[in-house]
C-alpha cells in the first residue's frame, strides 16, 4: 500500500511539474471550452435572431379559406400573404421555389361544418419547414381558442378544421437534406483528424528517432524533403476522408433499413458534386496539414506536439458546426469564413445545389490561406534549428527577452 | 579531400545565450587517411561534422569536400560523403533492404541499379539473414551494420563518422572499427570523431584534439607525444585540455 502511494505521489508530482500537462489538461479546458461554448451560443443567437426576423411567403390554393384565417395570418408581421395568387396545383418543390413561395395553404371542405387545411411545403428547405412550423403554431392556437371558448365571434366563418402537412420534397431531396446536416461537419472533422497524427509523425517522430539526419545528409534539398512529407500528410488525410465517408454512407444505408419509416430514403452524394467535394477536401486537407506541420515543427516530442495541436483541432473544427444549423446561407459573405465556407460548400453540394459564385469564393479564399500557411511552413522548416530540433520553443522569444532584460546576450 | 578553413558556428541557447560551438577551426584530411577528431562531450565535434555534412550552415569560414564548397555546393557535397553518427536512426517500419534502396534512389540511382547496389551491400555486410525484417526489430549491432551500409550506399570518396561505436556492445563496436579500417584500405578519406581514446589510438593516422569549440593540437600520435611529452593519448589529451588556451595560442 505504501509503495502504491509512493508511485501515485511521484506521478502526480511529475504531472504538476510538466507545464504542458498543466496547460493542456487544466488551463486549456478552463479557458478554451467556455470560449468555444460562448462562441457557439453567439452563433445560435444570431441564427435564431435571423430566423425570427425572417418573413415567409404564403400562397393559397383557392378562395375557400375562412376569412378569419386570412385576417389572423394577415395580422402576423412574419407572413407575406398572396391571396390573389391562386394556384391551381403545386406538385413539386421546384414549382414552389419557382413561384418564390415558402408554403401553400390549401383548404378542402369535407362537409358544411368540417374542413381540412393542407400545408404544402418542402421539408428539404429550412425556410419552407420554418414557415410550415410557424403556420401550424398559429392555426393550432386558433383551434385551441375555438375549442376553449366554444365559439368565436365569427364562428360561422370558421368550421372545425384539421391541419394536414403535405411534403413536396422527393425521397432523394429529403435524403440529401438530412445528409447535408451532419455529413459536411463530419467530413471537415475527419479531414482534420486524418492530418493530425501523420503531421506529427513526419516531423516530430522523425526528429525523435533521429532519422532526419541521415536523410538530409543525402543529396535531397530540404524543400523536396518537406514537399514529400507534406504530400504524404495530405494523402493520409484524404484517404481517411474517403474511407470514412464511404463507411458512413454504407452504415447509414444499412442501419436505416432497419427502421420502417426511413427505409425509403436513399443516402447518396450526387455524382456531379464529387469532383467539387474532392477539390474542397484537398484544400482543407492542405490547409490543416500546413497548419499542423507548422505547429508540430516547434514540438520536441510526440506528446508535446499533441499538446500543441489539440487546441488547434478543438478551435479549428468549430466553424464547421455552423453548416448543421438551419437557416445559414452559403453566400459570398459566408464563403469568406475559413472552415465554415468549406462545410457550407459540402452541404450545398450534397444537396445538389451548385451555386458557382460562393463555390469559387470558397476555393479562392481557401487557396489563399493554404498558400500563406504553406509559405510559412516552408520558411520555418528550412531553418536548420527547426529541422534538426535544436533549441526551439514556442516560448523562445520570451526567454530571449528575459535574458536581454537581465543583461545577457 | 577534406579542407576545413576557419570554420565557426555560433548558436543561441535559451539558457546560456550566444554559444560558440565551433571557434575558427582549420584542418585537412586526404584519401586513404583516417583523421580523428578527439574531444569530450560538448567539445564541438558533432557540430563540426554536421557542418561538413551540410546539415548545419557555418557562421563563418567554410570547408571543401572533394573539391566542393559546403556553403554553395551542398548537393554535390552530400553526393560525395557518407555520413554516420551514433545518434542516426533507421526508419523503424522499413526493412534494411527497403532502407538501402530508398537511400540509393535518393542518390540518384535508377531502381534496378539501386536494387543491385543494395544486394551487394547486404551480402558484403552480412545482413542477408535479416534484410527483410523491419529495422525496429533489429539489435543495436544489426542496426549499426545497416547504418554503415546506408552511409556507403553511394560508394562515397569521403566518410564522416561521428562517434559510431557509442552504445554498441564490444563485438558490434569491434566490427564497426574493422569496417572503418577496411575502408581506409580502399583509399577513402575518413573523418572519425570520438571521445574514446583507445579507438583514436588504434585507428587514426592523425588526431585533432578539440575542446570547447577550439582545436588544441593536430598531429600524428607520435607528434602529439613529442609535443606534450606524454606517452598515452589519455595523458596527452588531459595535459592539453588542462593547459589554458592563451598559452597554446601564444
Report d(CA B164, CA A368) in Å as an integer.
Answer: 47
Q: Do A158 and A296 belong to one domain?
A: no
Residue A6: which residues within 8 A CB-CB, separation 6 or more?
A: none
Residue A409 inside a domain? The answer is no
Report pLDDT digits (tens) over A303-343: 788 878 877 777 777 888 888 887 788 889 989 988 899 99
Distances (CA, A) of A147 to A35, A110, A118, A144, A150: 48, 19, 20, 5, 5
Is the Cβ pair B89, A219 closer than 8 Å?
no
* Residue of chain B whose Cα is closest to the Cα of A215: B103
Report pLDDT digits (tens) over A47-77: 677 767 778 888 887 767 777 777 777 787 7
CATH architecture of the domain B2-87+158-167+188-249 equals 3-Layer(aba) Sandwich (3.40)
Q: Do A361 and A313 belong to one domain?
A: yes
Q: Residue B59: how many CB atoms within 10 A of its CB?
A: 15
What is residue A241's predicted lDDT score, i.e. its pLDDT?
Answer: 87
Query: According to the per-residue pLDDT averaged within each range, which of A192-206, A263-277, A304-318 is highest?
Result: A192-206
Mean pLDDT score of chain A: 78
What's CA A59's distance to the chain center, in Å? 32
Residue A280 inside a domain? The answer is yes
Cell numbers describing residue B234? 589519455
Of A209, A388, A403, nearest to B55 by CB-CB distance is A388
| pLDDT surpassing 60 at residue A407 | no
Report d(CA A341, CA A324) in Å as an integer.
Answer: 12
pLDDT band at A176 (very low <50, low <70, confident <90, very high): confident
Q: Do A281 and A385 belong to one domain?
A: yes
Residues of chain B with pLDDT under 70: 14, 243-250
A232 reaches B (C-beta below 8 A): no
Q: What is the DSSP letter of B205?
A: S
CA distance A299 to chain B (A): 15
Is the Cβ pair A214, B75 closer than 8 Å?
no
Q: Residue A11: how many CB atoms within 10 A of its CB?
A: 10
Pairing of strands B60-65, B68-69: antiparallel
Q: Name which of A194, A276, A188, A185 is nearest A233 in CA terms.
A: A194
SS3 for B171? helix
| pLDDT surpassing 70 at residue A252 | yes
Report d(CA A231, CA A368) in Å as an integer.
Answer: 18
A406 reaches B (C-beta below 8 A): no
Q: Name which of A205, A198, A209, A193 is nearest A232 in CA terms.
A: A198
CA distance B131 to chain A (A): 19
Q: Do A14 and A76 belong to one domain?
A: no
A394 reaches B (C-beta below 8 A): no
CA distance B116 to chain A (A): 19
SS3 for B170? helix
SS3 for B55? coil
Burial class (CB in 10 A: 0-12, 13-18, 19+), A145: exposed
What's the sign of the alpha-carbon dihedral A121, A124, A130, A136?
A: positive
- Residue carrying the nine cell digits 425556410: A127
Report d(CA B237, CA B142) in Å as an integer.
Answer: 32
Beta bridge partners of B209: B38, B217
Point out the domain boundary residue: A116, A138, A169.
A169
Q: Which residues of A touch B106 (CB under 8 A)?
A: 215, 218-220
Give the end-to-end CA distance of chain A in Å, rounded to a whole number.
51
Q: Do A198 and A265 belong to one domain?
A: yes
| pLDDT surpassing 50 at residue A395 | no
Residue A252: which residues within 8 A CB-CB, separation 6 or more?
A: A179, A267
Burial class (CB in 10 A: 0-12, 13-18, 19+), B28: middle
* Selected residue of A201, A209, A219, A396 to mutate for chain B interface (largest B Cβ count, 10 A): A219
Q: Do A123 and A207 belong to one domain?
A: no
Is the Cβ pair B87, A209 closer than 8 Å?
no
What is residue A287's predicted lDDT score, i.e. its pLDDT?
Answer: 87
Burial class (CB in 10 A: 0-12, 13-18, 19+), B53: buried
CB pairs under 8 A between A and B: 69
Point out the domain boundary residue: A169, A184, A215.
A169
What is residue B135's predicted lDDT score, i.e. its pLDDT?
Answer: 92
Q: Do A245 and A357 belong to one domain?
A: yes
Q: Which residues of B touch A221 (CB under 8 A)?
A: 75
pLDDT band at A390 (very low <50, low <70, confident <90, very high): low
Of A384, A393, A409, nearest to B17 by CB-CB distance is A409
Residue A70 inside a domain? The answer is yes
What is residue A63's predicted lDDT score, i.e. its pLDDT?
Answer: 64
Burial class (CB in 10 A: 0-12, 13-18, 19+), B212: middle
Q: What is the DSSP letter of B146?
A: H
Residue A300 inside a domain? The answer is yes
Q: Do A34 and A83 belong to one domain?
A: no
Q: Do A146 and A180 belong to one domain?
A: no
Q: Do A58 and A152 belong to one domain?
A: yes
Higher per-residue pLDDT: A29 or A183: A183
Is the Cβ pair A220, B106 closer than 8 Å?
yes
Q: Specify the DSSP element, H or E, that contains B24.
A: strand B17-29
* Residue of chain A whose Cα is closest to the Cα of B74: A219
Distances (CA, A) of A357 to A320, A337, A345, A395: 20, 15, 11, 42
Distances (CA, A) of A388 to B47, B84, B203: 12, 15, 30
Distances (CA, A) of B108 to A159, B74, B75, B114: 89, 15, 11, 9
What's the structural domain count of chain A? 3
CA distance A387 to chain B (A): 9
Residue A31 inside a domain? The answer is yes
Q: Do A260 and A358 belong to one domain?
A: yes
Q: Which residues of A touch B92 (CB under 8 A)?
A: 209
Report d(CA B234, CA B181) in Å as an integer.
Answer: 22
Domain that holds residue A130: 54-169
pLDDT band at A382 (very low <50, low <70, confident <90, very high): confident
Report d(CA A349, CA A168) in Å as an integer.
Answer: 20
ipTM score here?
A: 0.83
Q: Do A102 and A248 belong to one domain?
A: no
Distances (CA, A) of A159 to A66, A114, A301: 8, 5, 76
* Residue of chain B whose Cα is closest to the Cα of A205: B91
Q: Which residues of A touch B91 (CB under 8 A)?
A: 209, 211
- Residue carrying the nine cell digits 497548419: A291
Q: What is the CATH number of the domain that holds A115?
A: 3.40.1710
Q: Residue A135: how many CB atoms within 10 A of its CB?
A: 24
Distances (CA, A) of B80 to B34, B65, B85, B131, B204: 16, 7, 17, 26, 21
HSE, side-chain direction, 13 A CA sphere, residue A96: 31
Q: Are A360 and A330 in contact (CB under 8 A)?
A: no
pLDDT band at A210 (very low <50, low <70, confident <90, very high): confident
Report d(CA A30, CA A17) in Å as an integer.
Answer: 18
Residue A408 inside a domain? The answer is no
Cell numbers describing residue B71? 556553403
Amino acid at each position: 500500500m505504501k509503495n502504491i502511494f509512493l508511485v501515485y505521489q511521484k506521478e502526480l508530482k511529475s504531472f504538476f511539474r510538466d507545464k504542458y500537462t498543466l496547460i493542456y489538461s487544466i488551463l486549456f479546458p478552463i479557458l478554451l471550452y467556455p470560449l468555444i461554448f460562448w462562441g457557439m451560443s453567439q452563433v445560435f443567437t444570431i441564427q435564431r435572431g435571423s430566423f425570427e426576423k425572417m418573413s415567409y411567403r404564403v400562397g393559397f390554393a383557392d378562395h375557400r379559406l375562412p376569412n378569419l384565417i386570412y385576417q389572423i395570418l394577415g395580422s402576423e408581421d412574419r407572413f407575406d400573404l398572396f391571396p390573389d395568387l391562386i394556384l391551381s396545383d403545386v406538385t413539386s418543390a421546384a414549382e414552389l421555389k419557382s413561384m418564390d413561395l415558402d408554403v401553400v395553404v390549401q383548404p378542402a371542405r369535407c362537409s358544411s361544418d368540417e374542413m381540412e387545411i393542407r400545408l404544402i411545403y418542402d421539408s428539404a428547405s429550412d425556410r419552407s419547414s420554418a414557415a410550415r412550423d410557424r403556420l401550424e403554431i398559429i392555426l393550432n392556437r386558433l383551434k385551441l381558442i375555438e375549442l376553449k371558448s366554444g365559439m368565436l365571434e365569427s364562428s360561422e366563418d370558421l368550421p372545425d378544421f384539421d391541419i394536414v402537412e403535405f411534403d413536396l420534397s422527393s425521397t432523394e431531396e429529403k435524403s440529401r437534406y438530412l445528409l447535408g446536416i451532419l455529413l459536411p461537419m463530419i467530413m471537415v472533422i475527419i479531414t482534420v483528424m486524418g492530418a493530425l497524427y501523420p503531421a506529427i509523425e513526419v516531423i516530430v517522430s522523425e526528429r525523435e528517432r533521429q532519422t532526419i539526419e541521415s536523410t538530409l545528409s543525402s543529396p535531397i534539398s530540404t524543400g523536396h524533403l518537406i514537399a514529400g512529407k507534406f504530400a504524404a500528410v495530405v494523402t493520409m488525410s484524404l484517404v481517411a476522408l474517403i474511407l470514412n465517408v464511404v463507411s458512413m454512407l454504407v452504415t447509414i444505408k444499412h442501419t436505416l433499413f432497419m427502421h420502417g419509416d426511413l427505409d425509403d430514403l436513399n443516402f447518396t452524394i450526387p455524382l456531379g458534386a464529387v469532383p467539387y467535394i474532392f477539390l474542397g477536401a484537398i484544400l482543407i486537407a492542405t490547409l490543416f496539414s500546413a497548419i499542423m506541420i507548422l505547429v508540430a515543427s516547434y514540438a520536441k516530442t510526440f506528446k508535446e506536439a499533441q499538446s500543441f495541436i489539440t487546441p488547434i483541432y478543438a478551435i479549428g473544427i468549430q466553424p464547421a458546426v455552423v453548416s448543421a444549423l438551419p437557416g445559414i446561407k452559403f453566400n459570398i459573405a459566408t464563403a469568406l469564413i475559413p472552415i465554415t465556407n468549406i462545410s457550407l460548400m459540402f452541404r450545398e453540394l450534397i444537396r445538389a445545389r451548385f451555386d458557382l459564385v460562393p463555390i469559387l469564393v470558397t476555393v479562392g479564399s481557401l487557396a489563399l490561406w493554404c498558400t500563406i500557411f504553406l509559405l510559412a511552413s516552408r520558411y520555418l522548416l528550412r531553418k536548420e534549428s527547426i529541422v534538426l530540433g535544436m533549441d526551439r520553443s514556442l516560448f523562445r522569444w520570451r526567454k530571449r527577452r528575459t535574458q536581454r532584460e537581465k543583461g545577457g546576450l | 579531400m577534406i579542407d576545413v578553413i576557419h570554420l565557426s558556428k555560433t548558436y543561441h541557447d535559451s539558457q546560456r545565450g550566444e554559444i560558440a560551438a565551433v571557434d575558427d577551426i582549420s584542418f585537412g584530411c586526404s584519401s586513404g587517411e583516417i583523421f580523428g577528431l578527439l574531444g569530450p562531450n560538448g567539445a564541438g565535434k558533432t557540430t563540426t561534422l554536421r557542418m561538413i555534412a551540410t546539415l548545419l550552415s557555418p557562421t563563418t569560414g567554410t570547408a571543401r569536400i572533394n573539391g566542393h564548397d559546403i556553403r554553395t555546393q551542398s548537393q554535390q557535397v552530400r553526393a560525395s560523403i557518407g555520413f554516420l553518427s551514433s545518434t542516426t536512426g533507421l526508419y523503424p517500419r522499413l526493412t534494411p533492404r527497403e532502407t538501402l534502396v530508398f537511400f540509393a534512389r535518393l542518390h540518384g540511382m535508377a531502381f534496378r541499379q539501386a536494387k543491385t547496389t543494395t544486394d551487394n551491400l547486404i551480402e558484403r555486410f552480412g545482413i542477408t539473414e535479416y534484410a527483410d525484417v523491419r529495422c525496429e526489430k533489429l539489435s543495436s549491432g544489426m542496426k549499426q551494420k545497416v547504418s554503415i551500409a546506408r552511409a556507403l550506399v553511394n560508394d562515397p570518396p569521403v566518410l564522416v563518422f561521428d562517434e559510431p561505436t557509442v552504445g554498441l556492445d564490444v563485438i558490434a563496436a569491434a566490427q564497426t572499427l574493422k569496417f572503418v579500417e577496411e575502408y581506409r584500405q580502399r583509399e577513402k578519406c575518413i573523418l572519425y570523431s570520438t571521445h574514446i581514446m583507445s579507438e583514436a589510438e588504434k585507428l587514426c593516422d592523425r588526431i585533432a584534439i578539440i575542446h570547447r569549440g577550439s582545436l588544441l593540437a593536430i598531429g600524428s600520435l607520435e607528434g602529439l607525444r613529442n609535443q606534450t611529452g606524454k606517452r598515452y593519448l589519455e595523458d596527452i589529451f588531459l595535459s592539453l585540455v588542462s593547459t589554458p588556451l592563451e598559452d597554446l595560442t601564444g
